[in-house]
Amino acid sequence: MIAVAQLPSIEIVDFADPVEVDAYAGLMAQVADDLNAFKSTFVPAAEWNCLRVTAKEYVKRLEAQFAVMSPAQKILCDSAYNLAYRMAYVKTTAPRIVNDNLLEAFDAKIHGDRAVDEYALYRSIERRIQQRDPHFFDKPLAWTSICVDRWLKHQYDRKSDYDRLNQAAILLNSRLGAFLGSEQDAFKERLFDYTRHYFEKPLTAVRDLMALDRLLQSGQRYLTPDESARHRANLTQALLAHPDTNRFHREALIRRG
């Protein structure tokens, strides 16, 4: 078991860097997993309480940082904030600041802010919709439908690896009956077959490797256990070897083994 005492000090986290913010939250989640905190049989102990103290401090510092972050930076921290908040307070409902940040990023995106990552924004909005949050039932819901329709129509067009991998991962996880009817299962199988070559393709950017990780998670039902394990090992090796992999993400990968 990994001791919480071995978690790098929160004092060295650069909260102005969304990549580092996300990576440290992921490392905290890995420590929580080492403690079996996500299992139904989990019984809280001293190490879990220590981790919660760190998570609470993380939430406090990130909330302070939000005041000087751009909408594009805030959306990249959304998933990390929610994860840390759940660990800190054992709640699934985050404070109002989460919705305020997300709606601010959405407004910036639809008014032409190209710095706002479309896929991070989509995933965050879709998560709120699944949680039945009424703040996202109007324009944000319509926007997600427009995105899916556009990605479906242009899935096989020429595009960057980053775009193709993220779109494929999202579509594989989406309910496409309203767009494809009874053909959605066949479409998803074809889509995964079309993108599976990426598991053998050298990718030079960390963000592309992270997108490939999302594709791997989304496409598990199309892989044998041996294929899944091989792709996971290769992807982990590529991320560990990449000089741009964040230090906290690297440590989480090492601890995961």
What pLDDT is attached to residue 2? Answer: 47
Contacts of 204 (CB under 8 A, 6+ apart): none
**Which amino acid makes up residue 131?**
Q
Exposure of 191 in the CB half-sphere (CA atoms within 13 A):
30
Assigned token pair, 74: 């805030």
Residue whose entry in the numeric block shows the structure tokens 């990576």: 23
| C-beta of residue 251 within 8 angstroms of C-beta of residue 31 | no
SS3 of 22, please?
A: helix
Assigned token pair, 10: 């929160």
Burial 231-257 (b: 16+ CB within 10 A, else e): bbeebbebbeebeebbebbbbbbeeee
- Interatomic CA distance for residues 79 and 181, integer angstroms: 31
Of the candidates 222, 215, 223, the one whose C-alpha atom is nearest the C-alpha of residue 171 is 215
Assigned token pair, 40: 């139904």
Phi (first) and psi of residue 40, to 5 degrees: -65, -25
In angstroms, what CA-CA distances link 15 with 61, 83, 110, 119, 132?
7, 16, 27, 22, 30
| Number of residues that this document lists for the chain | 257
- Interatomic CA distance for residues 141 and 214, integer angstroms: 22
Please list the pLDDT of the chain residue by residue as tens digits (257 residues).
445 657 999 999 999 999 999 999 999 999 998 888 877 778 878 888 999 999 999 999 999 999 999 999 999 999 999 999 999 998 776 678 999 999 999 999 999 999 999 999 999 999 999 989 999 999 999 999 999 999 999 989 999 999 999 999 999 999 999 999 999 999 999 999 999 999 999 999 999 999 999 999 999 999 999 999 999 999 999 999 999 999 999 999 999 87
- Interatomic CA distance for residues 83 and 25, integer angstroms: 7
What pLDDT is attached to residue 248? Answer: 97
What pLDDT is attached to residue 1? Answer: 44
What pLDDT is attached to residue 5? Answer: 55
